[in-house]
Homo-oligomer: A and B are copies of this chain.
């Protein structure tokens, strides 16, 4: 069992003894000797820098001189490691971890395989078990905030609350019967109840999640849009993802693109976060910009399904609110944004025929401030700046794959993997330290997930589906 309590040293530095203590401001956590990537507007980088946290907020970030100004209850000396904003996963279905590695390459998989599988297996237990596992994977991979779309989101919320992460949790709305609703109206009712329950939670933002335009009626989409305005909550959806969707929406709307259709029915607005956005043209991008909506770019999942490459770089360059996402664990399949970096950079270079396209700093920006902007949370998270919430990760720069580090953005994008994350801090609290989970029992969570795979295997085998 790897569950451990924090072993951070209580810091009473020589300096703090030498100077009278009233001269120093008391803080809760001080990180020293860091290569700090602030991801602020100037992309300021501090070598041997310090970061001070009080409560759940950043109270100082800067060069080494800061260390002398604070007296910290806890301190982490990170010996030159990268300190950066926690990564934000703008699109996933976390509970689907329990289905990961099933039928990865089945054509038309969503309709032929996943929806039938979910009809048999989605339950409160499944949602909880899968979310617990996915949360641990994300914290160990440096993700501090994620946006989720699934069923029984109140169960996901409990797991997020427990582990201490931050999340936008979207309760699904879809026109056919699912595990927690018989139809879209029941889904909306479930979502409203969930929203009322969690709207004042400090780390959880409840949301509506209409599955996609083509799996809901126009009336449902308009009803959700209206309610999102009323509750002032996000609307997470899959948008401009597939040719099937494109055809269905064109049929319904007299030839409109999904983005144009959503605009015309009044559903393209600042509450909306559209995942994928592969099939968008310049006119669509113009509507996206005007609407002030957010976009979740899921490179790894999109190319795995051979759906294509979103013009995400073009959208980013035009100022669209856009961040990175992993999509669900049957799609990506990993949940760590770090493992997206490499592919995001390289595939955009490939399709643009330009090795200078999508430089590492843009990738990191899309994983931090871009993603915060996509979720309309840029005032609170996404960069290391005074007054922001203390969502911070530390990346090991002494692992052999990370040496040397002439350019920290390059090292992160082209060399790092999820296993290089050393510490993960959310809301000022250390959730993982030196790869050890501090707020949940990783082994118990994994064992429960492995037990659940027996249920999945039995169900899949009973149905005559091939597991492998």
Nearest Cβ distance between residue A43 and chain B, in whole angstroms? 11
Cβ contact within 8 Å between B446 and A355:
no
Residues 334-347 of A, flagged 1 when their CB comes within 8 A of B and 0 if not, give 11100100110111
Cβ contact within 8 Å between A356 and B467:
no
Cβ contact within 8 Å between B360 and A308:
no
A252 at interface (Cβ–Cβ under 8 A)? no
Which single member of B107, B332, B415, B449 contacts A356 (CB below 8 Å)? B107
Cβ contact within 8 Å between B414 and A345:
no
Distance, CA A335 to CA B402, complexed state (A)? 11
Cβ contact within 8 Å between A415 and B100:
yes
A400 at interface (Cβ–Cβ under 8 A)? yes
Nearest Cβ distance between residue A40 and chain B, in whole angstroms? 17
Distance, CA A356 to CA B406, complexed state (A)? 39
The residue in A343, A346, A452, A457 that gathers the most chain B C-beta atoms within 10 A of its C-beta is A346
A162 at interface (Cβ–Cβ under 8 A)? no
Distance, CA A342 to CA B347, complexed state (A)? 12
**Which stretch from A136-144, A171-179, A195-203 is at the chain B interface?**
A136-144
**Which stretch from A25-33, A85-93, A298-306, A381-389 is at the chain B interface?**
A298-306
**Which residues from chain B contact A255 at a C-beta distance below 8 Å?**
none
With contacts A308-B350, A334-B401, A404-B449 known, what are 4 further pairs, Cβ within 8 A? Answer: A105-B355, A334-B415, A403-B450, A419-B420
**Which residues from chain B contact A308 at a C-beta distance below 8 Å?**
350
**Which residues from chain B contact A401 at a C-beta distance below 8 Å?**
137, 140-141, 334-336, 418
**Which residues from chain B contact A98 at a C-beta distance below 8 Å?**
404
Within 8 A of B (CB), among A452-468: 452-453, 456-457, 467-468
A309 at interface (Cβ–Cβ under 8 A)? yes
The 18 sampled A-B contact pairs (Cβ below 8 Å) are A100-B406, A104-B414, A105-B356, A107-B356, A137-B401, A140-B401, A141-B401, A300-B342, A303-B349, A304-B355, A308-B350, A334-B417, A400-B445, A404-B452, A404-B453, A406-B453, A406-B456, A407-B467
Which single member of B101, B354, B407 contacts A404 (CB below 8 Å)? B101
- Measured CB to CB, the nearest residue on chain B to A398 is B446
Cβ contact within 8 Å between A306 and B352:
yes
A250 at interface (Cβ–Cβ under 8 A)? no
Nearest Cβ distance between residue A131 and chain B, in whole angstroms? 12
